[in-house]
Amino acid sequence: MRPVAVIGIGKTPFGAFADRDLRALAVEASQKCLKNAGATPAQVEAFYLGNFAGPSFMGQSHLAPYVAASMGITDVPATRFEAACASSGAAFAHAHAAVASGVFDLVLVTGVEKMTSQQTPRVAEILAMAGDCSGEGKAGATFPALFAMIAQRHMHQYGTTREHLAAVAVKNHANGAKNPDAHLKKIITMEQALAGKPVSDPLTVFDCSLVSDGAAAVLLAPLERAGEFTDKPVRVLAVAQTSDHVALDQKDDITTFRAVKTAAEKAYRTAGLTTADIQFAEVHDCFTIAEIIAIEDLGFVEKGQGGFYSLAGKTCLSGEKPVNASGGLKSKGHPVGATGVAQICDVALQIRGEAGERQLKRNQIGLAQNLGGSGATCVVSILGAA
């Protein structure tokens, strides 16, 4: 396997955009990415598209060539990857494997979701398809409900509190307020976070990520060719994708995500690193409890300590392990299929020193953790300065 680099990144802002459809968003991010790398559509040897539910949200299938051809990419493999909220993380993992193994040199990976054209109950119904529709779905479980049940159990076993959850929301909103591309650039207080409208006990609106439109793209190349395109290549040190049961009731312990632990172990081993080497991370905070469990499963803290660690401010921009400097899914937004690649863009932006107001000083090695469903897919990527 040969070393691989991210040579270009591109994102649309995240938000609710009545004037832009799925294709327009994907094309915008992809073109920004190619421009960022100084590459042309003709140089792209394969197009990997991460998208969760375009067919349900938009009534359009066959999305990868639909997007690729409209920006002048034809005659190459163009394929959509679906792995719920880890759709573009999965696309990134497979693109990385293709470049690392020498199948292709330049691969464009784009993630996109267009969600705001549907009303909330329909959005909830589409998102619930990422769970087990024959069991928990039939019983009326929403996605927030699955994570609410995870939170109840985590609180029961480890003494995690509503304040712990709220601390994650407050921190991510503060970070997102510094991110010009974030969906909700709004600082919130602990009092506001605790008084949110209930969605599914114990989660309120302030514990839930946003329903957003948006797209993100990265261009991958073998490290040895990166210099042809950029003087700021970001090296991919490891990518690991793992899987587990889709249904929550099939997992032995719902306070931990087996797929996250196994992906993290594999990624650390591949990169030859330990948790202590990770200077910052973008983790999948689809719900506040998910960030707390992520930092535990990634080994940043002992099991059960994620909430206490968050409330103590250790994960804020000036903390010992900054998490979600971008604002995370909570504030940056969560266009489901775009999230995995957007996380890679945000880690790369930090390593390149281009993160503006939210730039971290310790920015040489960063991790991205992208979760699908209630933990049935996980992709952990570790990036470093080249």
Instruction: Catalog residues that contact other proteins under the rule CB under 8 A.
Output: 120-122, 124-125, 128, 134-136, 138-142, 144-145, 148-150, 152-153, 156, 197-203, 247-250, 254
Least distance CB 250 / other proteins (angstroms):
7
Helices and strands (H, E) in the chain, number of each type: 14, 11
Nearer to other proteins, 98 or 166 (CB): 166
Tokens 């939210």 -> residue? 358
Query: How far, CA to CA in Å, does 330 sit from each of 27, 225, 325, 336?
Result: 25, 36, 11, 12
Distances (CA, A) of 325 to 119, 179, 218, 359: 30, 9, 19, 8
Least distance from other proteins to the Cβ atom of residue 201, Å: 5
334 is catalytic: yes
Q: Given the complex with other proteins, which of 55 and 202 has the nearer CB atom?
A: 202
Least Cβ distance, residue 256 to other proteins (angstroms): 14
Distance of closest approach, residue 196 Cβ to other proteins, in angstroms: 11
What sign has the CA pseudo-torsion 7, 274, 266, 318? Answer: negative
Q: Is 378 an active-site residue?
A: no
The answer to whether 165 and 307 have CB atoms below 8 angstroms apart is yes
Cα–Cα distance measured from residue 326 to residue 332, given in angstroms and rounded to the nearest whole number? 6
Q: Which residue's CB is nearer to other proteins, number 249 or number 302?
A: 249
Nearer to other proteins, 204 or 331 (CB): 204
Among 85, 286, 316, 345, the active-site one is 85
Smaller CB separation from other proteins, 330 or 352: 330
State the residue for tokens 């100084």. 38
Please state the φ and ψ torsions of residue 143, each to the nearest 5 degrees. Answer: -65, -45
Instruction: Report the 10 Å Cβ neighbour count for 13.
Output: 18
Task: Indicate which residue of 316, 334, 345, 378 is catalytic.
Answer: 334
**Spatial distance between the Cα atoms of 386 and 383, rounded to a whole number of angstroms:** 9
CB of 154 to other proteins, least distance (A): 9
The residues carrying an active-site annotation are 85, 334
